[in-house]
Structure 1
């Protein structure tokens, strides 16, 4: 094996950097368009759990090395397992279960996660964008759930997609399998904003730093409450949210924040 190939093989599949209280996680399989192999999904899951447990981190920016955000599952890896005795069933099941755990880890992470998207985000790559709390994309980025084009309906990406955009928009993407521009993705709610290619990182970091200036406890309470209430009936959601508000009011940071507002001064957060 050449030194270059060995270096590529040994390089971390997810890179982690920090800018103050913001963690930057970068998918690092650029030559494979950041296809979500088992190893990459395991690495991302581990990093999401690590930043979620790190008290010094308040926001996460999820980005990617190379020309694409993510082309989705590693179809070459999956196809190779058709030679197994069970025609790949066990491996396919492992892949989908791990993917589900990883996507839910993004949603369940107590720190807000912002997708910073360039290039393509297709199939499970589009699912990953939809699973993030916020998303900023280059105007040159494109999104798709193209499984229908190869006889493999994007059923798991559909879960995240249908929780972000209206039903008919989701079905349009799923049934047609065509690329969607960043501007259209913003119109239908898949991403927050489409910006010029050179502004994607600065815009994502601008949002991340604003978020990181807040109480970490408040962010964690609010993110969890958002995803909990959205699945409930209206009366159940109000009952749940009211209880969350009561518990939040009793937190030290809420008391500090309200006093700071009344006293016209900047609050000092202790994340408790």
Structure 2
């Protein structure tokens, strides 16, 4: 049975399942509960035999604004408990990315608006990415005092070390046409036609023999991406470690207070 939640919606049309991130009032920023719901949706798509391809998109004007900063910044009275939580959050995002990469069915990201931070990571974890002209892409983490640890090896895997360094160190959000040029997006499509084009591509994937498509996807991960699983785990450790710093506290607080950070 295909799951539904308040912020993750799943629709099945023949061989195509569309998973929509729907938290429009927060630009589809991901909470821990939403990440877990995405993982459940992936599991359901995996088990649903009639589904051959998955389309991932966002509701409204954004694809995904990354992790929910309010949730990230929330702390409790026990610093040790906070450190445990930070580690769990990093591992949870790593596991979501791994499950997307390891899903034996192709994933097509239909990027309808800004995809930043963890949202950009979801784009990179998909097998094919198409975008609307409004689909900016980037990693603002350094300006928040944190690290895009899980996303960094995935970005280097998809684009190479040079483009990854530029995007990660500058915190630039690049427009859709530049993201297309460097290979983040495979094509751009006018917004009203985006989902239809994603479904068209999904049906092209579904026309292949399921075993052949699944083996091809696994082969790419196990050869070209041979070291990626280990690198994602290292990235999760870096993400959790960065959260323990004064810079992270300052950066997250500054974002919520809508001011420039004062770095220690």
Instruction: Give the CA deviation at 1:13.
Output: 2.3
Preserved contact between residue 52 and residue 111 of structure 1 (Cα < 8 Å): yes
Matched residue of 1:129: which SS? Answer: helix
Preserved contact between residue 112 and residue 191 of structure 2 (Cα < 8 Å): yes
Indicate which of 26, 30, 33 corresponds to 1:36.
30
1:206–1:147 distance in 2 versus 1, CA, 3 Å: same
Which residue in 2 is equivalent to 1:203? 197
Q: Distance in 2 between matches of 1:16 and 1:39?
A: 16
Q: Distance in 1 between matches of 2:52 and 2:27?
A: 28
Which residue in 2 is equivalent to 1:171? 165
Q: TM-score, normalised by structure 2?
A: 0.81
Deviation track 1:17-70 (CA, whole Å, cap 9, x = no partner) reads 011100001112211211111100000001101111221111000011122111
Indicate which of 225, 235, 241 corresponds to 2:219.
225
Instruction: Give the CA deviation at 1:12.
Output: 2.6
Matched residue of 1:163: which SS? Answer: helix
Q: Which runs of 5+ in 1 are unaligned?
A: 1-9, 234-272
> After TM superposition, what 4+ stretches of structure 1 lie above 2 angstroms from structure 2?
10-13, 81-87
**Higher RCO (C-alpha under 8 Å, 6+ residues apart):** 2
Q: TM-score, normalised by structure 1?
A: 0.78
Which residue in 1 is equivalent to 2:43? 49
Which residue in 2 is equivalent to 1:242? none
Larger radius of gyration: 1
Q: RMSD across aligned C-alpha pairs, in angstroms?
A: 1.7
Q: Distance in 1 between matches of 2:57 and 2:100?
A: 13
Matched residue of 1:185: which SS? Answer: helix
1:14–1:187 distance in 2 versus 1, CA, 3 Å: same
Which residue in 1 is equivalent to 2:69? 75
Instruction: Give the CA deviation at 1:155.
Output: 2.0
Instruction: Give the CA deviation at 1:83.
Output: 4.3
Instruction: Give the CA deviation at 1:174.
Output: 0.5
Instruction: Give the CA deviation at 1:82.
Output: 5.1
Indicate which of 9, 13, 17 corresponds to 1:15.
9
Instruction: Give the CA deviation at 1:11.
Output: 5.0
> How do residues 251-270 of structure 1 correspond to structure 2 at under 5 angstroms?
none
- Equivalent pairs counted in the alignment come to 224
Q: Does 1:189 align with 2:192?
A: no
Q: Distance in 1 between matches of 2:168 and 2:75?
A: 26
Q: Distance in 2 between matches of 1:38 and 1:110?
A: 24
Matched residue of 1:190: which SS? Answer: coil
Which residue in 2 is equivalent to 1:112? 106
Matched residue of 2:131: which SS? Answer: strand
Deviation track 1:150-202 (CA, whole Å, cap 9, x = no partner) reads 22132221121111112111111001101111111111111111222222112
Q: Which runs of 5+ in 2 are unaligned?
A: 228-264
Which residue in 1 is equivalent to 2:80? 86
Which residue in 2 is equivalent to 1:213? 207
Preserved contact between residue 157 and residue 225 of structure 2 (Cα < 8 Å): no
Deviation track 1:121-142 (CA, whole Å, cap 9, x = no partner) reads 0011101100100001001110
Preserved contact between residue 31 and residue 66 of structure 1 (Cα < 8 Å): no
Q: Distance in 2 between matches of 1:179 and 1:87?
A: 33
